[in-house]
Amino acid sequence: IRIEDDRTGLEIETLKRAILDNLFYIQGKFPEIATLNDYYMALAYTVRDRLIHRWLISSQTYTKVQPREVCYLSAEFLMGPHLGNNLINLGIYDRMRQAVQELGLNFEALLEQEEEPGLGNGGLGRLAACYLDSMATLDIPSVGYGIRYEFGIFDQDIHDGWQVEITDKWLKNGNPWEIARPEWAFEVKFGGRTERYTDEKGRSRVKWIPDRMVQGVPYDTPILGYETSSTNTLRLWSAQAVESFDFRAFNAGDYYGAVGNKVFSENLSKVLYPNDEQIQGKQLRLEQQYFFVSCSLQDMIRTHCDRRGLPISIFHEKFTVQLNDTHPAIAVAELMRLLLDEHGIEWDQAWHITQSTMAYTNHTLLPEALERWAVGLFGSLLPRHLEIIYEINGRFLNEVRLRYPKDDERIRRMSIIDESGDRYVRMANLATLGSYSINGVAELHTQLLKQDVLHDFAEMYPERFNNKTNGVTPRRFMVLSNPRLTKLITSKIGDHWIRNLQELRQLESFVEDLEFRSEWRQIKLAIKRDLANYIQEQNGIEVNVDSIFDIQAKRFHEYKRQHLNVLHIITLYNRLKANPNLDITPRTFIFGGKAAPGYQMAKLIIKLINSVADVVNSDPDVRDRIKVVFLKDYNVKFAQRVYPAADLSEQISTAGKEASGTGNMKFSMNGALTIGTLDGANIEIREEVGAENFFLFGLTASKVSQIKAKGYDPMQYYIANSELKAAIDRINSGFFSKGDTALFKPLVGSLMYQDPYLLFADYQSYIDVQTQVGEAYRDQDHWTRMSILNTARMGKFSSDRSIREYVKEVWKIDPLKICPPN
């Protein structure tokens, strides 16, 4: 017999031996006293061992072949748990389950044990994670660069209906997936001043004399693709004090000063800012951005020049940088600085290299979410970068003047510096100007981007603008999260759909198969039962698994309009109170999501949902026809259980506000129907699944701007619509707040007098279509057909398709096959 190596073997006996070996030698425990976490760690190391060989071969191959690579720069990577995903991508999920069970352990409990790395807020961070999976799967040489936050997105608890934030200590039990590489650290400078000098060739150069310095230490996580050996790197930077600085202060006798410097330095990567879509201009945030961008660019240049021995002049031929929103946009100025000041390259060549390297993805049209930094703050932190930005801007505006003479308004709009009041650096303008490609994340979003936020740039450089509709990875959001559906699909069409999601189309031919429909329905029911049990345990609420599971799970924001959903609930409640025998289709309304800690209105909407839940769930008149559930602490791990359980997915943002949405895709892939507006990727989802399999309501984006331009008056709707009025009055009366009429005033007041997201204008249309949903659900057979067709037609929304488009149309990179270890 042949005995497999404990670190690489894939047979069940080998896996069992390896787990026990890691328990002994890594965790240092005998089985008798090992905790669940010890076993989780032993299992995780067993999986990691099997990644490492592929990982080393991958980097060795990249060093040898010197392929063109993409570096995905993102302040957030919302990875979710690694264990299950790595087992899927290694192709040993079932075998490992077997091995674990033969050791007498509970496989599900071990998967559940992993603390998720929540290093992101929501869609943007999760998109970066899906793209890493697809880049590895498609054999694209790539690196993800970001920040190793010690505290990720906060954990959410609910006290008396209110959100309470708890620090996320995700590293408390150690992280088996990362490897620290202190030998590859870089220094990052802050503050101080610049000096001009003449170099040995007599050229005028600039030196930056900082007043602080921080070290960035890389922590690497392997990212294995599905059914391939390509294993790329997620490299996250952790801030550490620079030793020499400590010693200087220490030698001068200033021990406390030295320790203070250490504290300052390590603060940098301490915590993820929990805001999405609303920015505050905090200095620490800019420090974080510059910190990880500088480390990443230095790392690329070192790889290029030192490890590969290539000239800096062809940097842009070997590297392209994708900027995930403007959070890393300082990269434009930093690469210029490195080329000019550290490598002595002339301006024009440096600008050519920079502009040929950077590509920028925009994720938002909301004006309040566009990043800008006060010039004073910016200049005191990054004096050299401000000089460089002024120079870029001066040269650029000269071109604009040549092209559009005497158009001062245009100059003001296009300037990187906003001078309309206090002066700000506009990061979107910097990113746009510094990039060879600028893209939006859904067709509508790209169109509005070109029409609106970046209109002048799109007019001047139309060829640089393009659309890349978002996608999500079917490995995590179907195979891993929905094993039952995966098994059924695979039994009918084989398993190639996991790599080529368009093959799901073959399911269309099973729509007429009665047996198949019945299996489809039973699977959805079984998954709903699981979620119902969870709800019973967590919330103490009993829900009817035959009711419509109507789910809205996403960050809380007024533009996403969770409160429109609440107005529907209250409307149904009012109808039931008025007519206790009303025959309505039973529904379970499920919400999940976090609010930014400083966003009072979003927090008040959470409180409203929980207040309505308390009343509705305990009112005997309702007779269990409607239930309202708020599931706390919605994160990636939990989302994987939620998407498969939905009958109805709520995608109800005001048209023109949601850049794309990606949760909408995850729901629909798992057979939920969507109720949604013509916003973001909803439009394209509806195009794919067919209008007859999608519940559309609401104003279009152009109608929304028209109405706003004419002067929108929500009060007119309130007066004219008795059910809307009754719903609002119900909240106002204190009915949901134990008589406290003040509690929801800010929310109701905002709706009645401003309603910036047009809830009132869309209310009736929403209610009407919800009625159609209720009716459609009664025909279970027809609903099942629609559900199957949703899954069958979602192939476009695989992140593999998005990445293929980036590769072909933006990055121009060739795939590089990695030889499997023998």
Query: Which stretches of the chain bind ligand 26Q, using CB under 6 A?
Result: 121-124, 127, 273, 275-277, 279, 285, 327, 363-364, 369, 371, 441, 470, 658-662, 680
Phi, psi of 327 (to 5 degrees): -55, -35
| CB-nearer residue toward ligand 26Q: 327 or 793 | 327
Q: Which helix (H) or strand (E) holds 319?
A: strand 319-324
In a 3-state reduction of DSSP, which class is residue 12?
helix
Give the nearer residue to ligand 26Q in terms of CB position, either 209 or 284: 284
Backbone φ and ψ for 281, nearest 5 degrees, come out as 70, 35
CB of 206 to ligand 26Q, least distance (A): 29
**Nearest by Cα to 334 from 373, 300, 377, 374:** 300
Selecting among 372, 450, 555, 568, the annotated active-site residue is: 555
Catalytic residue, chosen from 662, 674, 784, 791, is 662
- Minimum distance between the CB of residue 415 and ligand 26Q, rounded to whole angstroms? 21
C-alpha span between 518 and 539 (Å, rounded): 31
- 585 with 630: CB under 8 angstroms? no
Residue carrying the six token digits 């003001």: 412
Least gap, CB of 86 to ligand 26Q (angstroms) = 24
Is-catalytic flag, 352? no
666 counts as catalytic: yes
Nearer to ligand 26Q, 279 or 478 (CB): 279
Q: How far is the CB of 366 from ligand 26Q (least distance, A)?
A: 8
- With a CB cutoff of 8 Å and minimum separation 6, the contacts of 394 are none
The residues, ordered by sequence, that sit 6+ positions from 9 with a Cβ below 8 Å of its Cβ are 15, 18
| Helix (H/G/I), strand (E/B), else coil: 75 | coil
Of 593 and 680, the one with the shorter C-beta distance to ligand 26Q is: 680
| Between 360 and 718, CB nearer to ligand 26Q | 360
Q: Is 344 left (phi over 0), alpha (psi -120 to 50) or beta?
A: left
From the CB of 327, what's the least distance to ligand 26Q, in Å? Answer: 6
| Whole-number Å distance between alpha carbons of 306 and 544 | 63
State in angstroms the smallest separation of the CB of 583 from ligand 26Q.
37
How far apart are CB 662 and ligand 26Q at their closest, in Å?
5
* 560 classed as catalytic: yes
CB of 508 to ligand 26Q, least distance (A): 27
Q: Which of these is catalytic: 54, 337, 528, 560?
A: 560
Q: Helices 562-578 & 759-778, crossing angle to 10 degrees?
A: 60
Radius of gyration of the chain (CA): 27
577 in active site: no
Minimum CB distance to ligand 26Q smaller for 12 or for 646: 646
CB of 451 to ligand 26Q, least distance (A): 17
In the β-sheet with 548-553, what is the strand arrangement from edge to edge?
626-631, 587-592, 548-553, 648-651, 673-676, 695-696
Minimal distance, residue 295 CB to ligand 26Q, in Å: 19
Q: Write the DSSP assignment of 693-721 as a string of letters.
A: GSEE-S--HHHHHHHHHH---HHHHHHH-
Helix, strand, coil in percent for the chain, rounding step 5: 55, 15, 30
Name the residue whose CB lies closest to ligand 26Q.
123
Catalytic residue status for 568 = no
We find the least distance from the C-beta atom of residue 531 to ligand 26Q, in angstroms, to be 24
Query: Which tokens in the block code for residue 404?
Result: 């559009």
Between 121 and 611, CB nearer to ligand 26Q: 121
In the complex with ligand 26Q, the residue whose CB is nearer, 304 or 327, is 327
CB of 80 to ligand 26Q, least distance (A): 15
How far, in whole angstroms, is CA 226 from its chain's centroid? 20
In this complex, which beta carbon is closest to ligand 26Q, that of residue 663 or of residue 774?
A: 663
Q: Quick check: 617 and 541 in contact, CB under 8 A?
A: yes
Choice between 652 and 773, CB closer to ligand 26Q: 652
Question: Strand 142-147 relative to strand 155-159: parallel, antiparallel, unpaired?
Answer: unpaired
CA dist 776 and 754 (Å) reads 34
> Is the Cβ of residue 34 or residue 329 nearer to ligand 26Q in the bound state?
329
- The C-alpha torsion from 382 through 388 and 390 to 394, rounded to 10°, is -170
Question: What is the C-alpha to C-alpha distance for residues 41 and 350, in angstroms, rounded to an integer?
Answer: 47
Verify whether residue 53 is a known catalytic residue.
no
DSSP string, 375-441: HHHHHHH-HHHHHHHHHHHHHHHHHHHHHSTT-HHHHHHH-SEE-SSS-EEEHHHHHHHTEEEEEES
Pull the structure tokens for residue 676.
């949604």
Paired with 361 in beta bridges are: 324, 439
Q: In terms of CB distance, is 149 or 186 closer to ligand 26Q? A: 149
Of residues 337, 475, 517, 554, which has the active-site annotation? 554
Cβ closest to ligand 26Q, residue 593 vs residue 661: 661
- Distance, in Å, from the CA atom of 73 to the CA atom of 324, rounded to the nearest integer, reads 6
Residue of 439, 443, 470 whose CA lies nearest to 663: 470
Strand partners, 676: 651, 696
Q: What is the DSSP string of 761-789?
A: HHHHHHHHHHHHHHHHHHSHHHHHHHHHH
For 578, counting Cβ atoms within 10 Å of its Cβ (0-12 exposed, 13-18 middle, 19+ buried), the class is exposed
CB atoms within 10 A of CB 749: 11
Q: How far is the CB of 425 from ligand 26Q (least distance, A)?
A: 13
Burial of 478 (0-12, 13-18, 19+ CB in 10 A): buried
Q: Which residue of the set 464, 666, 730, 796 is catalytic? A: 666
Alpha carbon 390 to its chain centroid, in Å, reads 32
Distance CA 680, CA 194 (A): 45
**HSE toward the beta carbon, residue 226, CA cutoff 13 A:** 23
DSSP result, 244-310 = HHHHHHHHTT-HHHHHHHHHHHHHTTTB----SS-----HHHHHHHHHHHHHHHHHHHIIIIIIS--
The DSSP letter of residue 161 is T
The residues carrying an active-site annotation are 363, 554-555, 560, 662, 666
